[in-house]
Structure formats: structure tokens, C-alpha cells
Amino acid sequence: MKMIYCTCNKSVLDALLTQLETINVKDYQVVDHVTAKGVKGDPRLDTAVWPGYNASIFLQFHDDEKAKEVIQKLRDFNKNAQNESELITCCSWTIDDYFYD
């Protein structure tokens, strides 16, 4: 089982969620207002000096193959970014439990 965490500029959140829907990802959580400093692009700290903010998405999968498909879709999303501000940051890890019963 896998957990995937992504963070993105709020301006690309809808496009990213649309991409996930195209591969039938329907189980995720969004944290809408996240301040961040990333490796690339300007900080988004929601201040006068560093305006803007990020959103974070948490996705969990029983099926590791589906998680790999999602990771590839996220990589493709970055390949199509217009500039560094549109890049997403992503990481994944193995989880021990995932239930909804």
C-alpha cells in the first residue's frame, strides 16, 4: 500500500485534480491553504513580500500498480508545466494500514 503526497501552487490545483480524475482517482484529501518554500520557484508564504500559497493533496492506494500510474501522471504534469511556479512536488511512501470500514 502506498501514500502519495503532492504540493502545488493553488493556481494549478484544479488542473491537477482534473488529471487525477482522468485516471479514475477518486480517493484523496486536499489541504487548501499551505504556505511553502520549495526547491524551485519563489516561496509562497501568503505575505506581501511572498504572495500566493500552495495546496496539498494526500492520496492513498491499496494497489501499488495504481500508485505507480499516478506517480507517472504527476511526472507528466510537471513535464507540461509552463514555468517553475506550476511544478508540483511529490513524494510517496509505504503505509502499513489503510481502511475505511
Which pLDDT belongs to residue 18? 95
Which pLDDT belongs to residue 63? 94
Residues linked to residue 58 through DSSP beta bridges, in sequence order: 5, 29
Query: pTM for the full model?
Result: 0.91
C-alpha cell at 1: 500500500
Say which residue the cell 505507480 belongs to: 68
Which pLDDT belongs to residue 40? 83
pLDDT digits (tens, 9 = 90+) for 38-88: 888 889 999 999 999 999 999 999 999 999 999 999 999 999 999 988 999
Q: Which of 4, 13, 10 is nearest to 72 (CA)?
A: 4
Are the C-beta atoms of residues 59 and 70 closer than 8 Å to each other?
Answer: yes
Q: Map out the domains of the chain as residue ranges.
A: 2-94
Q: Residue 58 corresponds to which amino acid?
A: F
pLDDT digits (tens, 9 = 90+) for 86-96: 999 999 999 99
Topology of the domain comprising 2-94: Alpha-Beta Plaits (3.30.70)
Which pLDDT belongs to residue 101? 80
